[in-house]
Chain A
Amino acid sequence: DAKTTQPPSMDCAEGRAANLPCNHSTISGNEYVYWYRQIHSQGPQYIIHGLKNNETNEMASLIITEDRKSSTLILPHATLRDTAVYYCIVRVVHTDKLIFGTGTRLQVFP
């Protein structure tokens, strides 16, 4: 079973920051938080992952709370092409499985 909960949908204006929350209150100390997104009828795309420190890459930033029970994915300047379903997943270090939950459907509007 998925160990994360996300809002089913969110809207964001183009050019604004999109902040996507995720709750993972049962996360263990050896579990990473991963974010993927899936644009319609394509395979999921890796975005970012982290353990306990905040992370940033060319696509997004990941903010993990100090107790690690929740996190937020930030797309700093959303574009129409960021419209997708965003999945937050926890994964045990050095194991393979990604168990997808229902994700958040982000709609970026002009």
Chain B
Amino acid sequence: GAVVSQHPSRVICKSGTSVKIECRSLDFQATTMFWYRQFPKKSLMLMATSNEGSKATYEQGVEKDKFLINHASLTLSTLTVTSAHPEDSSFYICSARGQGAWVDEQYFGPGTRLTVT
């Protein structure tokens, strides 16, 4: 149990285009989902926290108009990188916190590698 998926796993896009990344909790309902980014050989950096049906809370220094987050249901959150540029190239990882037995644990997706050319 407690599986989180991400789609796509890899994406290459041209500078100036927008890219949407999906994060799904497959076998539990996620009251809260989180988005991280990770640069090569660096640690994960929390970007934002999203609760189902409400606006996301962004960490300091993260542009909310650049990284649009939607958490429309208890099993799906999306991150849209708008007008992507090469510096947005990174490994984006989502996680989900569940209800009930798994309420104290976050489960992570496999990540999405974004390359902007």
Chain A contact residues, CB within 8 Å of chain B: 2, 32, 36, 38, 41-46, 49, 87, 96-103
A41 CA to B8 CA in the complex, in Å?
A: 14
Prevailing SS type, chain A contact patch: loop
Cα A44 to Cα B32 in complex, Å, equals: 17
Distance from B30 Cβ to chain A, minimum over Cβ atoms (Å): 11
A98-B46 in contact (CB<8A): yes
Q: Is B108's beta carbon under 8 Å from chain A?
A: yes
- B32-A96 in contact (CB<8A): yes
| Top-9 shortest CB links A-B | A43-B108, A100-B44, A100-B43, A44-B108, A43-B110, A43-B111, A43-B93, A43-B109, A96-B32
Q: Is B28 engaged at the interface, CB distance under 8 Å to the other chain?
A: no
* Cross-chain pairs A/B with CB under 8 angstroms, 10 sampled: A38-B44, A41-B91, A42-B110, A42-B111, A46-B105, A49-B105, A96-B97, A97-B46, A101-B43, A102-B43
Give the Cβ gap from B81 to chain A, nearest Cβ, in Å.
18
Interface size class of B (residues with CB under 8 A): 20 to 34
Closest beta carbon of chain B to A86's beta carbon, Å: 12
How far is the CB of A97 from the nearest CB of chain B, in Å?
A: 6
Q: How far is the CA of A102 from the CA of B101 in the complex (A)?
A: 29
Q: When the two chains form their complex, are residues B93 and A44 in contact, meaning their CB atoms are under 8 A apart?
A: yes
Which B residues lie at the A interface, using CB under 8 A?
4, 6, 32, 34, 36, 43-46, 49, 91, 93, 95, 97, 104-111, 113
Bound Cα distance from A49 to B97, whole angstroms = 15
Give the Cβ gap from B71 to chain A, nearest Cβ, in Å. Answer: 13
Distance in Å from the Cβ of A71 to the closest Cβ of chain B? 16
- A99 near B111: Cβ-Cβ < 8 Å: no
| Residues of chain B within 8 A of A36, CB atoms compared | 108
How far does the Cβ of A90 sit from chain B's closest Cβ, in whole Å?
A: 13
